[in-house]
A and B are shown apart, each in its own frame.
Chain A
Amino acid sequence: MDELLVTKIQRFSIHDGPGIRTTVFLKGCNLKCPWCCNPENIKTQKEIYFKKRDCIECFECVKRCEFLEKPEDIFRFPEHFECAESCPTGALGVYGEKIKTEKLVKILTKDTDYYNNTDGGITFSGGEPLLQSKAIKKVIKKIKPIHIAIETSLFAPEENLKDLLDHTNLFLVDVKILDHNMAQKTLQGDLKTFHKNFQIIKKKKIETIIRFPAVKPYTFNKENIKKLINFLQENNIHQIQILEPHKLGLEKYKSLNLKMKNFKKPAKDEIKTLKKRLDEISIKMDYLKI
């Protein structure tokens, strides 16, 4: 509870909420979205990576670790963090660092003046930040009154969400698959949890931005779009950000010795049609590309 497992702290972040922000990417997620662009944030433990393109073949790692014959061998020794960190170029390294809450507070408050002058703040993202809600709560309490956003899928236990309810100014909620069976099958998540959590933040009247990754075939299909529109109307939501999927995560998959699953982005026409359809029922849609 006194520390968080963090993969990255991105200062001057301008895509995850209003104004200039610092985004904390937390490691660990309970969903398995096939289009995930941050595969390094899925496992809840530290992980060794190897980026072949940065390797200069100096074999410092091999000199250091008796088990290695070549850098790639490190994948067989997932606990050899120090061996990985001996790499001079950072081709071998570790995703995830345990950071004490006090230290995190120090880092997050470095840019307070920039937040204040642009109505910005701090965003906790991931992974699924709710999984580390207790430690986040501790941090937030110390940095009040900075604006706090939580980027979440809401597929986490209810009590985790409740930890943060009184301390969050904005929820960025990713709505993904709205069919119970498909959610279970594709994401390995229980949609009931999502709905329950969503009603909690709705009741609390905390500002919420709905985001929807438009991924073919997983989320961007007839059935799911229909369900999405129902969801928006039922909950009286008049604005949505549609996210264009991208494959910038490819190198990270490679670096973890994982394969990226296949998916596609919708055609321009399809996006246009959706926009028109949403317009007709007075829902404002923004299409965000990276």
Chain B
Amino acid sequence: MKGFLINLLGKIPFSPYIKAYYTIYHKNKGSFLQTAFRTKFINSRKENMIERRVEQLEKVCEGARIYFTPGERFFYSIDTRLHVIEYPGYRRLGNLTVDYSMLLEKGLDGIEKIIDQKLKNKDDHYLKCLKRSIEALKFYRGRCIKESGELSRILERVPLKPASSLEEALQSILFINSLLWMYGHHLIGLGRLDKILEPYYENYDKSKELIKEFIRSLSKYYRFKSNVLPGDTGQVIVLGGEYNELTRIFLEAMMELGVPDPKIVLRVNKKTPDDIWELSYKCLRKGLGYPLLSNDEVIIESLQEYYDKTDARDYSTSACWEPLIPGKSADQNNLANINLLKPLEDALRGFNGDFEELLEAYQESLNNHINETIDTIESLKVEPSPLLSLFFPDCLKNAKDIAHGGTRYNINGILTVGMGNLINSLLNIKRVCYDQKRIKPQEITNILEDNFRSHKSLKFELENKGLKYGMDEPEVIKLTNRIISMLHEKLRGKYKFGLSSPSYLTEGESTGASFDGRPAGEPLGVNISPVKFTANMSYTEIFNFASELDYSKAYNGGVVDIMIEKSLMDHIPREFTGLIKTAIMKGVMQIQVNVLNPKILLKALKNPELFPDLIVRVWGFSTYFKDLPKEYREIIVKRALEYSKYGD
């Protein structure tokens, strides 16, 4: 069906515009007409897809309006009116990180030289397209110099030449970064900037001043860069793994600026120095929602399912937290969501067997769901991008576009949502139907379709009693790992999957009542966190549970998402750091912390505009509370209140 629609769309001459207007509408509901009117569409009618994409790039470079503010330290101009048309049947790449180190070492001239040399040996159509792309970038740079007044000085050497100072390195990155945005890629990550920039480090004060200005530039065009929700920009800076002065400077600079964007993922391991832990604590305590802490030992080990050890060690992440190799993998880590409750709905319909048979039925139904998901994913081709390909060294080496297997790795990722709800449902079924024999398994479907209307007290019992996802009890851990194994058995060899997903609200809306006591339409559990944090749970318990999960199979994002009250956080610098360090040491994969004051949150829920600076962490990004849709604000407050009852 989907294939047929795509085919049909392809035959309508104006269909790319329909999609473009649809996208604009979704991003600018309030000001759709205004935005649509000023939008400048970048189209091409070339038959050959690569040529079409090169022409689009040329049009961006020729047509982009150039903006600069006198007095700014860096040149960073994005023409937000541009809309690079997408064509039916193609999926545009995004949510990944280019190799900025190659740009800094070689400059555009150096990259062009590589292409020229290859062209000498072989007349290759694709290489010629890359050459045209480089020329387009150089043309744009020329225009920028002409139109940027006193700032033009900074573009004299870079990005053409290799960077020779921290200032040049940062400018070079900003220049290419701005083009990636204008060319229509979304969720553009920045990679391991402390490592990439280390050769250009000057002294503490100067470097810090420059980094702060760099961050200020990246924070611009915040709305334009936001993907689905405001703040969801994907501008992730990955720090750590190895540590240098720049690791500290980035953390300090972000903390001092106190902005939600860009965001930081901090790689931690046994060698993470104490002062870095201390800085993370201070940053989190400010309520910025970052750094997200990412466990090197667990991730590097897991990544070796598909990636070389050396490459695995260099991991960075997609927009939220899903690991990938910057400049080497074209991985699309967020291709689809698998709602783990849906297969249970199917498995329970007409089911009449023992608990083991139920798990088998679940696995079969899960496999069908996965097949459907994969079919949908694979019905689209990847849209070529000569611009991205220029900064993926393997694409140059192989003279192949990133969309056509030019990169070393191309392992796509799937997310799962509802694991907590599934596990709690299964634990309840085991307790109520098999241990206590109070309800027959074949009755469950009716109870759920009735949305607990005639089983009011049962709903509460299911929600409150028995073992729950997130408890460090062997039965809970074993069951969760069994589901992880089912997913891995089906997906391995071609796809990665993870245990964290942004779709807990949207998937919840379309999912009927579940046997964990969740009414129809309510949100699903968030990441690897208890579905409901109750007063008799503890942070140590959640971390112990999370540390036992089989991340060697499920590593496309595995975040424990906790909330902690600001007053408690202030009081326990040593204990908090000890808690997180121990959790990482024990094998928790990733940790995200929201530090919140429930009293302020409750007030902000009533009058969001009165708290314009209140920052919260949603999915894998930080953002202003006031900018979020109401349902997202509510779920944050609800969770914060659960965690604030801690110790009651």
Contact = CB atoms under 8 A, between A and B. Distances in A.
Interface in B622-648: 647-648
Interface in B468-507: 472
Given A88-B464, A113-B586, A118 B575 contact: yes
A88 B575 contact: no
Contacts of B398: none
B536 A56 contact: no
Contact of A14 (B464, B536, B571): B571
A148 B410 CA distance: 53
B540 interface: yes
Contacts of B647: 10, 13, 15
B472 A90 contact: no
Contacts of A13: 647
A199 to B, nearest CB: 33
A113 B582 contact: yes
A58 B539 CA distance: 32
Interface in B593-648: 647-648
Interface in A10-37: 10-15, 19-20
A11 B578 contact: no
A118 B574 contact: yes
Given A13-B647, A90-B464, A117-B581, A20 B457 contact: no
B465 interface: yes
A254 interface: no
Contact of B457 (A10, A14, A88, A118): A88
A19 B456 contact: no
Contacts of A20: 540, 575, 578-579
Contacts of A190: none
B5 interface: no
A114 interface: yes
B8 interface: no
A284 B207 CA distance: 44
B439 interface: no
A111 B472 CA distance: 10
Contacts of B460: 56, 58, 88-89
Nearest to A23: B647
A10 B538 contact: yes
Task: Give the interface centre of A10, A19, A110, A113 by most chain B CB atoms within 10 Å.
Answer: A113
A111 B457 CA distance: 35
A213 interface: no
B540 A120 contact: no
Contacts of A14: 568, 571-572, 575
A202 to B, nearest CB: 29
Contact of A60 (B457, B539, B540, B585): B457
A28 to B, nearest CB: 20
Given A20-B540, A89-B464, A110-B540, A12 B579 contact: yes
A8 B568 CA distance: 20
A13 B571 CA distance: 12
Nearest to B647: A10
How many A residues touch the partner, as a band?
Answer: 20 to 34
A58 B540 contact: no
Contacts of A117: 578, 581-582, 585
B509 interface: no
B457 A56 contact: yes
B150 interface: no
B335 interface: no
B202 interface: no
B581 A110 contact: no
A60 B459 CA distance: 13
A288 B459 CA distance: 41
Interface string B443-456: 00000000000001
A79 B575 CA distance: 41
B389 interface: no
Nearest to A59: B457
Contacts of A89: 457, 460-461, 464
B586 A88 contact: no
B312 to A, nearest CB: 26
B456 A113 contact: no
B433 to A, nearest CB: 16
A186 B464 CA distance: 40
A287 to B, nearest CB: 13
A113 B457 contact: no
Nearest to A58: B457
Interface in A71-109: 88-90
B49 interface: no
A24 B459 CA distance: 31
Nearest to B571: A14
Nearest to A15: B647
B541 interface: yes
B578 A12 contact: no
Nearest to B472: A110
Interface string B535-560: 01011110010000000000000000
Given A12-B541, A111-B544, 17 more contacts: A8-B536, A10-B538, A11-B541, A14-B571, A19-B574, A19-B575, A20-B540, A20-B579, A56-B460, A58-B456, A58-B460, A89-B460, A110-B541, A113-B585, A114-B540, A117-B578, A120-B575
27 contacts: A8-B536, A10-B647, A11-B540, A12-B538, A12-B540, A12-B579, A13-B647, A14-B568, A19-B575, A19-B578, A20-B578, A20-B579, A58-B456, A58-B460, A88-B461, A89-B457, A89-B460, A110-B472, A111-B540, A111-B544, A113-B585, A113-B586, A114-B582, A117-B581, A118-B574, A118-B575, A120-B575
Interface of A: 8, 10-15, 19-20, 56, 58, 60, 88-90, 110-111, 113-114, 117-118, 120, 248
